[in-house]
Amino acid sequence: MRYCLYLICGAILICLATTTPATAAVMLAGGHLPVCSSMAPAQCSGSTDWTEQALDEHRFRIDTEALRRWTEAVDQSADQSMARDWLQLLVHLRDDDGRWQTRAELAALIRSTRLSFPDQADREDILGEALYQTADHQQWMRLLDHFQQPVGDRREQVKLAHSRNSASVEVFERFVAMAAALSERPRPLIAVSTASSRDPYDALDFYLQVFEQAGAEVIWLPLDAAVHRARELGQCEQLAEFQASELGSHDRQRVWPRQYEQQVRFCSESEAGIKLVDKIDGLFLNGGDQWLTLHAFRAADGAPTPELERVLLRLESGKLALGGTSAGAAVQSGAAMISNGGNQAALLYGAKASPPPPPGCQRSGRCPQGLDGDSLTYHLPGGLGSVPFAIVDTHFSERQRQIRLLRLLTDSQQRLGIGVDETTALIIKPLPGSSFRLEAIGASSAWVFERTHHDTAKLHRLTSGAKLTMDLAAAAPTFPENTAADPACRPFDWSKSFNELLASAGSKGHSRWCLEPGRNRRFALSLEQLSAPGAGVQGFVMRLEALEHEAH
């Protein structure tokens, strides 16, 4: 009888084990995780002795070979209208035997140069400053890429224990602990992805060493948008061409030859990514541009790559920890994914479901029709989907992004928005049923905006160490109608942070500002009420119930 009882109890335990929801957690870091390294010595405490192979700065030189490479690249681009002046300026600055320069020194040299043509009365001077100011991000990066010197045997060196910022160390060590909780190894195996970077090799050594020194075994997942496209077309040997078209990076095979060859091999082995994902305990996505990360893991039609399918499967089954910082956190959105935008454009013109404008497009006058460099854009199908119930935003308080997130929640009709401050992380762990637990760690706060009705929202602020449990199945609470009369509008100060706006609202949580965009149009912004769908900029106001959660 007792034996049968044991069997029954064992069967019940097995059944419970197979129906328990995933216990693997997701980490969303808000960006800016400074660590002591040879590229960031100001983040180090005490003396640091780097080896001769330490990469402490990138080097550039305007020489004949670099000019040839750059000229060939420009000839194949749409920038020929400005190429003549640039070429004459760079030829004037050519120095085949001179010392290399840092990026800042090269920019200063170009901007301070002026070419005159006294024997050509009809020829205007060429001003380096004018060329620099009208070059957009893509044009300037292409120039830097071709004049960058190879790194050779140098690599960025990290000394995590010497970091001044303990909150950054806490975030990295916590992710290692999350992976270790799922691992059977003495040290968990973590893969780092650099898919958010325009240059996929620049931050690689940094992340490999950070996680190794935080207690993990570390490998690189070499998948990015260029590899994805090259593999899709069966042209991995032409990876450099896809780096130019998909990432906007050039000549990386010359600057980082070892890393480039490793990526070509990975591209050529169709099952390499799946095999890698199957054996790791954690995957960490770097910062940069979430639009690039999205296209590393999803096809143009939104279909997931085999690697993403396996990541989500292992995450759901509680066998993989997933983390990311900045773009690597924003891309995890399951709802509409933010891809660009600032508060002012968000308030005045709303959110646009379109690809983001090219960085710096206003400088060169090359912004897509209907967009400018500050336009709030989003990807309607969302990002990777690892946080399926929310829109995720980062650098939150520091870049005053609370208002743009509220606007996007309204325009896209999503319920939850998550924002994370810099040097801070929010850990999301699923609980039984439809509940999940949020925990903030690091230097500052994490924020949760919950749309409770078409015109209201609830704000949760989690200070470091605070925890909050939410249930997606619970009915959204509503606020009573506000019957108080509005006070007079006062001019809105764009220099104030969202925290300062909350503070100025006073104990009653009520304040109102007026925006003056010109043409006699006046728009109200309040911490009281969200606009109804379709109300447009004239009616965009916000009502928030602010709840602060502190560690106990």
Are both 245 and 357 inside the same structural domain? Answer: no
Beta strands in 416-455 (DSSP E): 416-420, 424-430, 435-442, 445-453
Tell which residue, 188, 212, 200, 189, has the closest CA to residue 37: 212
Looking at the structure, tell me whether residues 74 and 108 fall in a common domain: yes
Within a domain: residue 13?
A: no
Whether residue 299 is found in the same domain as residue 201: yes
For every one of its 552 residues, what pLDDT tens digit does the chain have, with 9 covering 90 and above?
433 433 334 433 333 333 333 357 999 999 999 999 999 999 999 888 999 999 999 999 999 999 999 998 887 666 666 688 999 999 999 999 888 999 999 999 999 999 998 888 778 899 999 999 988 899 999 999 999 999 999 999 999 999 999 999 999 999 999 999 999 999 999 999 999 999 999 999 999 999 999 999 999 999 999 999 999 999 999 999 999 999 999 999 999 999 999 999 999 999 999 999 999 999 999 999 999 999 999 999 999 999 999 999 999 999 999 999 999 999 999 989 999 998 878 877 889 999 999 988 888 788 999 999 999 999 999 999 999 999 999 999 898 888 889 889 888 889 899 999 999 999 999 998 889 999 999 999 999 988 876 556 778 889 999 999 999 887 554 433 333 334 455 555 555 665 565 555 544 444 455 444 333 333 344 443 333 333 222 233 444 455 667 775
Classify residue 255 as exposed, middle or buried by CB count within 10 Å of its CB (0-12, 13-18, 19+).
Answer: buried
Beta strands in 286-408 (DSSP E): 321-325, 337-340, 351-352, 376-379, 390-394
Q: What's the CA gap between 299 and 305, in Å, rounded?
A: 7
**C-beta separation of 227 from 267 below 8 A:** yes
Write down the pLDDT at residue 80.
Answer: 65
478, 421: one domain:
yes
Q: What is the domain range of residue 87?
A: 64-147
Is 106 contained in some domain?
yes
What CA–CA distance (Å, rounded) separates 208 from 35?
Answer: 13
Q: Do residues 350 and 495 both lie within one domain?
A: yes
253 and 137 both lie in a single domain: no
Residues 210 and 101 in one domain: no
416-420 and 424-430 as β-strands: parallel, antiparallel, unpaired? unpaired
Q: Which pLDDT belongs to residue 546?
A: 52
90 part of a folded domain: yes
Domain tally, the chain? 3
CA 437 to CA 534: how far, in whole Å? 33
Asked if 314 and 360 sit in the same domain, the reply is: no
Residue 84 included in any domain: yes
* Residue 494 and residue 366 in one domain: yes
Question: Are 182 and 254 in a shared domain?
Answer: yes
Q: In the 8-state DSSP scheme, what is residue 521?
A: E
Rounded (5°) CA angle 289-291-296: 100
Consecutive H or E run containing 28: strand 26-29
Residue 52 lies in a domain: no
Residue 480: both structure tokens together: 């009573």
291 and 183 in one domain? Answer: yes
Q: What are phi and psi of 162, to 5 degrees?
A: -95, 5
Answer whether residue 51 is part of any domain: no
Q: Is residue 54 part of a domain?
A: no
Please check whether residues 271 and 356 belong to one and the same domain.
Answer: no
Reported for 260-269, long-range contacts at CB under 8 A and 24+ positions apart, including other chains, are: 260/201, 262/220, 262/222, 263/200, 263/222, 263/224, 263/227, 263/239, 264/236, 264/237, 264/239, 266/222, 266/223, 266/227, 267/222, 267/227, 267/230, 267/231, 267/236, 267/239, 268/231, 268/236, 268/237
pTM summary value: 0.87
Residue 124, pLDDT score:
87
Contact 315, 20 (CB under 8 A): no
Please give the pLDDT value at position 525: 46
Res 452: pLDDT: 74
